[in-house]
Amino acid sequence: MTHALEHAGQDPLAVARMDSLVVALESIVGARHVRHTIPERVTYATDGLPTHRRVPGLVVLPGSRDEVIAVIRVLAQRGVPFVPRGAGTGLSGGALAAPDAVLLVLTRLNRILQVDPANRRAVVEPGVVNVRLSAAAAPYGLHYAPDPSSQTACTIGGNVAENAGGPHCLKYGVTSNHVQALEVVLADGRVVELGSPGGEPWGPDLVGLFVGSEGNFGVATRITVHLTPTPRAVRTLLADFTALRAAGAAVSAIIASGVVPAALEMMDRSCINAVEDSVYAAGYPRDAAAVLLVELDGPAETAVEADAHAVAALLTGLGARAVRTAADPRERERLWQGRKKAFGAMGRLSRDLVVQDAVVPRSTLPDVLEAISAIAARHRLVVSNVFHAGDGNLHPNISFDATDLDLKARVEIASGEIMDACIAAGGTITGEHGVGLDKVRYMPLVFDADTLAAMRAVRRVFDPEERVNPGKVVPLHACREWRQVVRAG
C-alpha cells in the first residue's frame, strides 16, 4: 500500500506508519472516504488563494460527529498533525495540509439539525453551506446574517473558523456576533461544549475566543447560531462617482451621519468593467471611477424610505454623478449579484487572482486607495478594488499569471507593500479572510512579541502539541519565548 507515500525522502518506517494509518482511518469512515492517491490528494492542494500549494499526506472525510471524534482520537494516539477544512473557499491558505498531515474534510457533516424560530436560532453541523441555512430559515421570516461572497459554497464551520464577514455585516455583525454555542472536539479527542443555547457565555467567553481561531483550537462539530429577522423594508442604492477619492469620502460621511446602512460596498472602475464584461453584468456605469452600493433596511417602510432619501441627498451633495434606486427585488438582486460575483468576473482579467484583505479606519480610505493605485503602478500590476467600504475592509485584487515567476514575485512584493500601507494608516492585515499561511509573516507588524507569545500560549491550552492546523496564524519565531530560547542557545 505505497500509493499514499510517494513523497520524496520518506523512509520505510514512515511508509509503514502511513499504511497503518490508512487502514485505521478506513475502518472508521469506510475506504471510499479516505483519499490517498496523489491525484485525489492534489485536488485539495489549494484553497481560494492561488499563491500557496500543499499536497496533504492523506485526506479523510468523516460522515458524522462520532466519526470525527474517532478519527481525531486515532490521530492523537499516533501524534499525527491534521487540518480541518470545509469547502476550501478560504483566501489565506488556512485550510492546506502539509504532506506530513491529514486533511480532515467536514463537508459530509452537512445537516441542519434544528431551526428554532421561537428562539431565533439554529443548530447545524459544520459542513452546512452558508446559503442553505438562510434558505431553511426563510419560511419563518428569519435568515443567517453573515453573508460572505462565497456563501453559495462556503460552510458554516469554515465561517466559524475564519470569523467570516460579508457585505451585510456592517449592520448585523460578523460571525462571532451570531454564534451562541459550539460543540468542539479538541486535538486529543475530548469533546467540550462551549457557550450556552441562549448565547450567554458560560464562564469566560470561550465561544468568542474559538470563533476566528482558524482551526487551531479544535474542530466544531455542532454550531448553534442566532437567526435574524428578515427586514420587511429594503432600499438598494447605486451611486456613481467620477473620482475614487470622492467615493471614499462619501463612505465616511454616510457613517458619520448616524444612518447605519445594512451594507455599504465599493467597486472601482476595473472591477466594474470586469463585472459588466461577464455574465453577471448588473448595469453598473462603465465610465465611473467607482460605484457605491448602499443598502438600507428595517422593519418599517416609511423609516427606510426616509433614510434612503437622506443617504441619496448626502451622496449627491458629495459629488455622486447619479444615484439610482433599485426599482424592484429583481433589480436589487441584479445589483447584488454583480457585487457578489465580482471575484468570479475578475477571472476574465487573468489566469490567477489574489484576493487581498485588510482593514483601515474609514476616514483613511481615500488616501489608502490612492496608495494602492501607486503600488500597482509601480509594480506594473492590475489591481481591482471591490470591498466592504462601510467597515473600511479593503479587498484589493491583483490579477496575474502564476506561471510567470517574475510577475508572481511582483505580486508578493506588492501584497506586502499594500499591507504596510494599511498598517501605516492605522489598520490591520485581515478583516475577514484570516491569517492562515499567507499572512503569518505580517503578524509581527501588528502584534508585539508578548502578545504573540500569549496567543501561542492560549492555543496550547486547547492543543498542547500544536497538532491542529500547524504553522498557521502565530509566527513562532516572533514569540517572546522563542526569542529567549534562541538567545539562550
Partner 1 sequence: MNTLLEKVRALLGADAVLDPGAAGIAPRIAPPTPEAIALLLRTATEEGWKVRVEGSGSWQPADTPADLALTTRRLDQVEAVEPQDLVGTAQGGVGWDRLRQQLAERSVWVAVDPPGLAGRTLGSIVACGTAGPLRQGLGPVRDHLLGVSAITGDGRVVSSGGRVMKNVAGYDLTRLQAGGFGAFGVIVRVHLRLRALPRADQTLVLEGPREELSRAADDVRESGLQPAALELLSPALARRAGWVLAVRCAGSAAQVEAEEATLRTTAGGRFAPLASEETHAFWQRAAEALTVRPVTLRLGGLPEAADDLLDMLQHQLGDEWISASPALGAIRWSGEATAERLRRLRKTLAAREVPLTLERAPWELRRTVGHFGAYREGVGPLIAGLRHTFDPAGTLVVPVAAGE
Considering only residues 189 to 218 of the shown chain, the ones binding partner 1 according to CB under 8 A are: 190-194, 196-206, 208-209, 211-213, 216
For residue 302, how far is the Cα from the chain centroid?
A: 35
Among 434, 437, 438, 468, binds partner 1 (CB under 8 A): 434
The least CB distance from residue 200 to partner 1, in Å, is 2
Q: For residues 30 and 426, which CB has a smaller minimum distance to partner 1 in the complex? A: 426
- Residue 145 contacts partner 1 per CB under 8 A: no
- 474 touches 459 (CB < 8 A): yes
Q: Compute the distance between CA of residue 340 and CA of residue 230 in angstroms, rounded to an integer.
A: 19
Place of cell 422593519: 299
Q: For residues 196 and 278, which CB has a smaller minimum distance to partner 1 in the complex? A: 196
For residue 235, how far is the Cα from the chain centroid?
A: 27
Tell me, by CB under 8 A, how many residues bind partner 1. 91
Strand-pair category, 228-229 with 142-143: antiparallel
Q: Compute the distance between CA of residue 157 and CA of residue 358 in angstroms, rounded to an integer.
A: 22
Footprint of partner 1 on 318-347 (CB under 8 A): none
Sign of CA dihedral 229, 234, 240, 243: negative
Strand-pair category, 396-400 with 352-355: antiparallel
- Residue 441 contacts partner 1 per CB under 8 A: no
Cα–Cα separations (whole angstroms), residue 276 to 6, 94, 280, 281 = 46, 31, 7, 4
The least CB distance from residue 437 to partner 1, in Å, is 14
- Residue 317 contacts partner 1 per CB under 8 A: no
- 56 touches 65 (CB < 8 A): no
Q: For residues 140 and 280, which CB has a smaller minimum distance to partner 1 in the complex? A: 140
Q: For residues 177 and 278, which CB has a smaller minimum distance to partner 1 in the complex? A: 177
Footprint of partner 1 on 41-100 (CB under 8 A): none
The least CB distance from residue 8 to partner 1, in Å, is 34
Q: For residues 30 and 361, which CB has a smaller minimum distance to partner 1 in the complex? A: 361
Footprint of partner 1 on 284-313 (CB under 8 A): 298-300, 302-303, 305-307, 310
The least CB distance from residue 38 to partner 1, in Å, is 33
Q: For residues 99 and 436, which CB has a smaller minimum distance to partner 1 in the complex? A: 436
Footprint of partner 1 on 6-25 (CB under 8 A): none
Place of cell 447619479: 322
Among 56, 99, 158, 165, binds partner 1 (CB under 8 A): 165
The least CB distance from residue 452 to partner 1, in Å, is 8
Please tell me the number of Cα atoms within 13 Å of 272 on its side-chain side: 22
Q: Compute the distance between CA of residue 202 and CA of residue 460 in angstroms, rounded to an integer.
A: 21
User: What stretches of 379-479 show up as alpha helix (H) in DSSP?
Assistant: 405-424, 443-446, 449-462
| Phi and psi torsions of 302, nearest 5° | -65, -45
Among 2, 257, 477, 484, binds partner 1 (CB under 8 A): 257
Q: Which residues are within 8 A (CB) of 122 and not within 5 positions of it... i.e. 6 or more apart? A: 112, 113, 114, 115, 116, 133, 136, 137, 144, 224, 225, 227
| Phi and psi torsions of 453, nearest 5° | -65, -40
Give strand ranges (E) for 144-279. 179-185, 191-195, 219-226, 228-229, 233-241, 263-268
Footprint of partner 1 on 445-484 (CB under 8 A): 446-448, 450-455, 457-459, 461-462, 473-474, 480
Q: Compute the distance between CA of residue 340 and CA of residue 345 in angstroms, rounded to an integer.
A: 10
Q: For residues 186 and 468, which CB has a smaller minimum distance to partner 1 in the complex? A: 186
Site string for partner 1, 99-138 (x = CB under 8 A): -------------------xxxx-----------------
- Residue 225 contacts partner 1 per CB under 8 A: no
Which of 14-22, 23-31, 52-60, 438-446 is the region at the interface with partner 1 (rule: CB under 8 A)?
A: 438-446
Which phi-psi region, left, alpha or beta, contains residue 466 (left: φ > 0; alpha: ψ -120 to 50)?
left
Q: For residues 35 and 121, which CB has a smaller minimum distance to partner 1 in the complex? A: 121
Footprint of partner 1 on 388-427 (CB under 8 A): 388, 391-393, 426-427
The least CB distance from residue 380 to partner 1, in Å, is 29
| Joined grid coordinates for residue 161 | 473558523
Q: For residues 333 and 481, which CB has a smaller minimum distance to partner 1 in the complex? A: 481
Q: For residues 23 and 256, which CB has a smaller minimum distance to partner 1 in the complex? A: 256
